[in-house]
A and B are shown apart, each in its own frame.
Chain A
């Protein structure tokens, strides 16, 4: 059911704080939940603004998950991991059998995700 490799494309704007944070959060998420099963493409819209225009990337950072199908857009610093995991089919209910999970990830946090990330 789960694909062999998860493909991510992350649109960032240079070294803006939000972008840096998103890159770090994505890397951590992948390492935690998808070790060795992910590919990340980083697109810096400062370097390629036309691409942002054609792909309608208006809010940065934006993460596009291409596989598993269907793709999704996730906007923000990715500090709140639970919605991302759900999209990837790795939600709390779905990953009950996975070993090595922390309690924190199992309980969705709805309030003030930024604060909890810090």
Chain B
């Protein structure tokens, strides 16, 4: 006897179109099968189920049927308005609501079954060409069947009907799950029957609401087995997922973006990498915000859309405060390049923050993002999830190619060492800049050091960060006795050097002048000697000339005498002279 596979198309899946859920389930819910959706009250079952239908219609053109056992369809449609799904336009042809609430005046006499409803639904499904169906709050109907055997029978009937009609179904059930996530009877057996079971969980940890989704089983498919936080956001369900294994890596680039501080760029060998995540840690008041503001300004100057999320202060305060150090953000807010978000008003879990940031950044099409400070995520009640949220923030911004600068506040009481930012995200960040106070000679000065910067050569020196009206500068460093000098000591050292330089310059000048004077003097002497020499030469020439003349005179005189005497004595004498 051979066993024929009942449904060879098991691998095909019906995408839910819900952010994150399709990633967790590897593509969607099992097509043509039943998915059980279990959760406590207010856990978001109806929204998830309805969104499954709406996305099916809008994205896949798969009409759907919603069987409402608990609420009137009018209320469900009204509630869905807040998500902007615009159900009324779908109602005519694509989406059918069955109001299956048991009437209040219903009289029960003996047992009954759901076959009438299934027959009616079958007719409607055929009419619509429905591919998806939701039974919302089936427990309401099951509760009318007091007999557990009858309940089980009706569940099997429903399951068989779904399979026979090849509808992808979601059945939601109210059930409080215990700490292990398994359901209480009497519906527990349903988990064994269905092909996929999803559990929604809504807990309050230290006053902060945390919603989690977990796929408990998925026949014939691998899935992410962990609890994933989710959020019911502006446009519906969003499940937070980390990038799962096997998904493509984000593109990396060698492009550098300026940190907004010229000399910091030099220290980093050109700036931050585009798409990198930068962590700036420091104690309160160490100019974390200012440094991130400089980055935002530089990004806006390049014309890149930027979003600045401040958890500490209002947007206007941030702009004013940054204005005092020469970072003028106002103009960029006005022309729309910069979007300032004050997140003080957002309350809720770390997940809420993350989803809001992601949504806003998407809306703004931000290429650069500043989150100041990211450590807010770990405030009370969020410790459990804050780390993974921060991880996902970095992960997400990388995947989107967004250059992320986040600051992280270090608790001054915790440790003065540089290790361990509160969220442990320092390992994930590509560049980690640490700011702290160095106390020296009765002064507290801001020191900046680059602890790490992946893939770039970077300066190993602690530099002093100076804030002034003109902006942020990173100073030259002076070391003395192994310490970097800062503040007044640096200034003193600087001015001492300046003095020394000036004195040197003066000395050189003086010496030059002296030498010039000597040179001039020597020149003068050379000239006078030359004149004297000329005089002597002339004198000598004159002397020689006069001597010659004298001789000639003598010669002439002698000849004249001889002529006058008429003797040849002069001849002999002349011959004797030869």
Contacts and interface: CB of A to CB of B under 8 A. Distances in A.
A35 interface: no
Contacts, number: 108
Contact of A49 (B98, B110, B114, B120): B120
Interface stretch (B83-91, B100-108, B220-228): B100-108
A33 interface: no
B72 to A, nearest CB: 12
B119 A49 contact: yes
Interface string B212-247: 000000000000000000000000000000000000
A4 B109 CA distance: 25
B5 interface: no
Nearest to A117: B110
A13 B109 contact: no
A75 B107 contact: yes
B99 interface: yes
A8 interface: no
A16 B113 CA distance: 9
B8 interface: no
B119 A78 contact: no
A87 B100 contact: no
B270 interface: no
Given A22-B110, A77-B111, A113-B110, A13 B105 contact: no
A13 B120 CA distance: 11
B117 interface: yes
A22 B109 CA distance: 10
B119 A52 contact: yes
Contacts of B119: 13, 45-46, 49, 52
A23 interface: no
Interface string B252-264: 0000000000000
Given A77-B110, A114-B110, A52 B116 contact: yes
Nearest to B116: A60
A81 interface: yes
A45 B117 CA distance: 9
B112 interface: yes
B113 A74 contact: no
B187 to A, nearest CB: 19
Contact of B116 (A45, A72, A77): A45
B105 A53 contact: no
Interface string A39-69: 0000001100110110011111110000000
A113 B109 contact: yes
B122 interface: yes
Contacts of B144: 59, 75
Nearest to B67: A58
Given A49-B122, A72-B105, A73-B106, A13 B116 contact: yes
A77 B108 CA distance: 9
Contacts of A52: 116-117, 119-120
B552 interface: no
A49 B123 contact: yes
B155 to A, nearest CB: 15
Interface in A72-86: 72-81, 83-84
A37 to B, nearest CB: 20
Given A73-B103, A75-B108, A117-B110, A62 B123 contact: no
Contacts of B344: none
Given A49-B123, A73-B103, A57 B116 contact: yes
A7 interface: no
Contacts of A113: 109-110
B120 A76 contact: no
Nearest to A51: B120
A58 B116 contact: yes
B216 to A, nearest CB: 29
B113 A59 contact: yes
B124 interface: yes
B117 A58 contact: yes
B110 A60 contact: no
Contacts of B109: 74-81, 83-84, 113
Contact of A53 (B110, B111, B114, B123): B123
B212 to A, nearest CB: 33
Contacts of B122: 49
B119 to A, nearest CB: 5
B488 interface: no
Contacts of A77: 109-112
B123 A60 contact: no
A9 to B, nearest CB: 13
B115 interface: yes
Contact of A45 (B103, B120, B124): B120
A92 B561 CA distance: 204
| Most-contacted residue by chain A among B100, B102, B115, B147 (CB, 10 A) | B115
Interface in B113-135: 113-117, 119-120, 122-124
Contact of A16 (B103, B115, B147): B115
A19 to B, nearest CB: 8
Contacts of A76: 108-112
Given A13-B113, A75-B112, 19 more contacts: A16-B113, A18-B111, A45-B116, A52-B117, A53-B123, A58-B100, A61-B112, A61-B116, A72-B107, A73-B103, A73-B105, A73-B106, A75-B107, A76-B112, A78-B109, A80-B110, A84-B107, A114-B110, A114-B147
10 contacts: A45-B115, A50-B120, A57-B117, A57-B120, A59-B114, A73-B106, A74-B109, A75-B108, A76-B111, A83-B109
Interface of B: 98-100, 102-103, 105-117, 119-120, 122-124, 141, 144, 147
**5 tightest CB-CB pairs across the interface, nearest first?**
A77-B110, A60-B116, A49-B123, A76-B110, A58-B117
